[in-house]
Amino acid sequence: MGIKTIYVCEKCGKETERSTKGEQYFHVSILIQGVGTGYSNETRTMALWCRDCCDEYQLIISPQGTAKEPAPPELTIEDRLVAVFEAMGFERRQ
Ligand SMILES: [Zn+2]
């Protein structure tokens, strides 16, 4: 009897069998590092996101344009942080 591992994106719900080629999943968390202090802290909560969701919030690389389609505007760090915190279940105060 074998074991099948299924990754589930916590942002969009996409499910992918672990061995599926071309599919990538990432642990997403918030890391704070002090400049010159040696201090660092990482959120204890991590989310598992698929590559498409990471790309939607530009978490891995900056958006790339093509000859036919220009790159979308780069998101601010605030936009990226809000997306990650909301995915972890925090609600935004207005
Ligand atoms: Zn996803």
Could you read off the pLDDT of 60-92 as tens digits, one per residue?
988 888 889 888 899 999 999 888 888 778 887
What's the CA-to-centroid distance between 8 and ligand 1, angstroms?
8
Judge contact between 83 and 58, C-beta under 8 A.
Answer: no
User: Tens digit of pLDDT for each residue in 23-38?
Assistant: 899 999 888 999 999 8
What's the CA-to-centroid distance between 39 and ligand 1, angstroms?
31
Judge contact between 80 and 74, C-beta under 8 A.
Answer: no
Closest Cα to residue 42, out of 10, 8, 88? 88
Q: Which residues surround ligand 1, an ion (CB under 5 A)?
A: 9, 11-12, 14, 50, 53
What's the CA-to-centroid distance between 60 and ligand 1, angstroms?
14
Residue 1 confidence (pLDDT) = 72
Q: Residue 48: is it exposed, middle or buried by C-beta count within 10 angstroms (0-12/13-18/19+)?
A: middle
